[in-house]
Each structure stands twice: as C-alpha cells, then as structure tokens.
C-alpha cells in the first residue's frame, strides 16, 4: 500500500523516510513530488496536533492516499514554550533555519545559562481516506547552547544538546539522532499503528 | 527631593515624566542625562518585576537617588505570553521597534484573527537608598491588528487596539493613552507610594 509523507521540507522528508524504513513497516512511502501537486494549506493550528492533522487531512483530500504528516518544533522554557508551533516561521517567514536559530539566540542573549532549558516536541498524524485518524507524540528534553555546532540535521539541531548528551543534535549521526529524537519517537509509534491498520485491512 | 527615572529609552522617559507630572507628586524628576553616566545593567530577569527591580537598584547604586524604573512589554496569547520580558529585544537586538513589531506580525501571519488577543503589561519599581523597594503593576488587554496604524507612542503601540477601543494605542492622544495604559496604571500607583514615602520622610 502507498502512504504519502506530506511534507514540503526535503530534509524532514528524508528523516521521515529513514525512520519509517527502519521500522520495517511494509508500505510504499511516497513524497509530494510523487503525487499531483496540491496547494499548501496554511498551518492555522495553535498546537502541534492540530497542524499535523491539518497537513495529513490535506494530503488525504488531495491524493486519496493514507497520509502521514508531522508538526514539530522546539520549546524554550524562558520563551514560555515558544517558538513551539511557530518554530519553522519564527523569524517571520517559513523555513529559514539560519534566521530562526539566530533569532532565538538573540532573544536569549541576556538569559543566564542555567535558564536555557528547551525541548524538541513532535506530533505525528496518520489520516486514512475513510476518516480514521491517529496521533502520536515525541518529546526530547535538553538545553540550548549559545553557538551553533554540527552539520547534520536541520532546524534548531545545531543549538540543541539533549539531556545526557554533550554533542548537539547536529553533531549526532542520523542513527544516533533518530534513536532519541522527538520525531523518531513519534514516527515509530505511528509505524506501529500503521502496521496494525494494514494487518486489519489484510484480514 | 530628586527622583531618578532610570530608562535609556527617550520616548519612555517622556511618558514616565508626563504620567508622574500629571499626578502632582512633589518631586524633581531627573533622567539619566542629568546624572553621571553609569553602565547599563543586563536585563537578566525572567519577569517584568525582576527587570524593573534590577534597573531601579542599579540607579540607586550608581546615583544614591531614589529611583523609578519600569519593565513593560506586550504579551500575545498565541505566543504563550511572549514577547513578554523580551519585547524590546524580540528581533534579537535592543530597541528596534519596527523590527520587533514586524517580527510579531510575521509570526502570527497564519493565526486566525479571533486568536490575536494580547495585552500590554507593566511592572514599575521604586527603590530607595535605604533598601525600601516597592513594585506596582499595570495591565491593558486588547488585540493585535495586521497592519500598523498611528504615529504616537512607541514600541508595539501601532499594532495594538485596547479592548473597547477602535483606534490603536498609537492613534490615541498622549492623554488618552496614559489614562488607560499599563504604564499609566503602574506609574500612578507608584506615585501614590512615592507621595506617602515623601510625607513620612517629612514627618
């Protein structure tokens, strides 16, 4: 069965594929480049869950395929959990990782080191054409550092060190990152549900 | 008696003077230009109260004068109360009103109109050389608009409409704004305390 991964972010698409492939779930994963183009839906949700569902539903509606989408972000304690759902557009436009990360560093410049707690959060949604919908979650606690380090990953990875680690998420290998990441947690939980639903469909 | 108004923001200084003068409290208000220069203290507090106290204490320590300082900001509901204490440095550097305001508008660009609730918040501190310290508060609820309007005021005034108003804070006259503003509320309460303390000193 084909399952659509509904993201327009090439690096995130790679991560979703990699994580789902590693679970061994028996589906053909297709990206937005593999289906007829459809317009982007504004992420009007105020929670990760809402936005993940908005994107998954838009994929189902446009393609008729079961669709996986996630909404993820970084929550910074002294910013009251922001950037949160605004992580990808924190600097005011979508997807400028460098500007977003520099802005957060500027905002917390005067904040003492001991108050730089942060976490990566992910909500992943799976929607089926018949209306079944599932949501899973992932959460990776850690802290911000003042200067970006590392070349892997994307988004805020270079300024985030997970609890128990000394390297930033961008200094981890893909396998190391997937093993702990918010997206890894949420997508593995979603892969289990996907497997169960496929088994049911095959009954 | 001389009282120092400890702010490096010329427009805020004007507002503080105007509000306190209108209360008729019998003190000589001096600004930072009227006292020997002292270095700026980083606003390391995580609340308006802490930052107001940091600034008032720094003024007392540097000048020996009773010192008034405020820390104010805008809290946007969908940003979990941010920019909050980071309002003046939201775009990553201090005091660029236009950049700060544009950034907030960019961040909420996809947020539906009915979720644009916001408030102006002020904590005002009064510190005496003998260690007495007082804090007062002000709070003005309202909502954001998408396009700045008005030339008065400063900061986020052009994109904020107070509850019950149709004009932005930047479209109000100074008198209209002071009558309702967060800073007006907090400073009038502080003027009362200042008056009582002066009366006590005169006993």
Domain annotation for chain B: domains and CATH numbers: 2-202 (3.90.950.10)
Please report the pLDDT score of residue B203 as a whole number. 57
Please state, rounded to an integer, the average pLDDT across all residues of chain B. Answer: 95
A42:B106 CB<8 A = no
CA angle at residue A88 from A155 to A189, to 5 degrees?
A: 75
Distance CA B47, CA A102 (A): 23
- pLDDT score of A203 more than 70: no
Q: What is the mean pLDDT of residues B59-80?
A: 97
pTM for this structure? 0.89
CA distances from B90 to A104, B22, B52, B57, B76 (A): 9, 31, 18, 24, 12
A89:B109 CB<8 A = yes
Residue A77 falls in the annotated catalytic set? no
Burial of B84 (0-12, 13-18, 19+ CB in 10 A): buried
User: Is residue B117 within 8 angstroms of chain A, CB to CB?
Assistant: no
Burial of A39 (0-12, 13-18, 19+ CB in 10 A): exposed
The alpha carbon of residue B28 is apart from the nearest alpha carbon of chain A, in Å, by 33
| pLDDT single digits (tens) B151-163 | 999 999 999 999 9
B86:A80 CB<8 A = no
Interface of B with A in 32-61 (CB under 8 A): 42-44, 46
Nearest CB neighbour to B115, from listed A46, A78, A106: A46
Looking at beta carbons, which residues of chain A come within 8 Å of B46?
78, 111, 115
**In this prediction, does ipTM exceed 0.90?**
no
Percentage of residues of chain A with pLDDT beyond 90: 91
For A162, the enclosing helix (H) or strand (E) is strand A160-162
Please report the pLDDT score of residue A78 as a whole number. 96
User: Is residue A27 within 8 angstroms of chain B, CB to CB?
Assistant: no
CA distances from B21 to A197, B27, B141 (A): 71, 9, 25
Question: Any binding-site annotation on B10?
Answer: yes
Q: What is the mean pLDDT of residues B100-109?
A: 96
Distance CA A106, CA A164 (A): 25
Helices (H), ranges, A45-171: 48-63, 97-107
- pLDDT score of A202 more than 80: no
Nearest to B142 by CA among B102, B179, B87, B180: B180
The alpha carbon of residue B175 is apart from the nearest alpha carbon of chain A, in Å, by 33
Please report the pLDDT score of residue B96 as a whole number. 94
Compare all CA atoms of chain B with the CA of A78 and give the residue at the minimum distance. B46
Q: At what angle do helices B10-23 and B182-202 cross, to 10 degrees?
A: 60
């Amino acid at each position: 069965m084909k399952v659509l991964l509904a993201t327009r972010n090439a690096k995130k698409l790679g991560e979703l594929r990699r994580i789902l492939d590693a679970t061994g779930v028996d589906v053909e994963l297709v990206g937005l480049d593999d289906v007829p183009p459809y317009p982007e839906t504004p992420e009007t949700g105020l929670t990760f869950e809402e936005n993940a569902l908005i994107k998954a539903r838009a994929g189902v509606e446009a393609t008729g395929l079961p669709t996986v989408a996630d909404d993820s972000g970084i929550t910074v304690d002294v910013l009251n959990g922001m950037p949160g759902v605004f992580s990808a557009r924190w600097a005011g436009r979508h997807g400028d990782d460098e500007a977003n990360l520099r802005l957060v560093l500027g905002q917390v410049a005067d904040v003492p080191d001991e108050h730089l707690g942060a976490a990566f959060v992910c909500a992943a949604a799976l929607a089926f054409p018949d209306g079944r919908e599932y949501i899973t979650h992932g959460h990776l606690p850690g802290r911000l550092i003042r200067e970006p380090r590392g070349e892997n990953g994307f988004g805020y990875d270079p300024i985030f060190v997970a609890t128990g680690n000394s390297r930033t998420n961008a200094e981890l290998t893909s396998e190391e990152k997937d093993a702990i990441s918010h997206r890894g947690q949420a997508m593995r939980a979603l892969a289990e549900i996907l497997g169960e639903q496929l088994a049911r469909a095959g009954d």
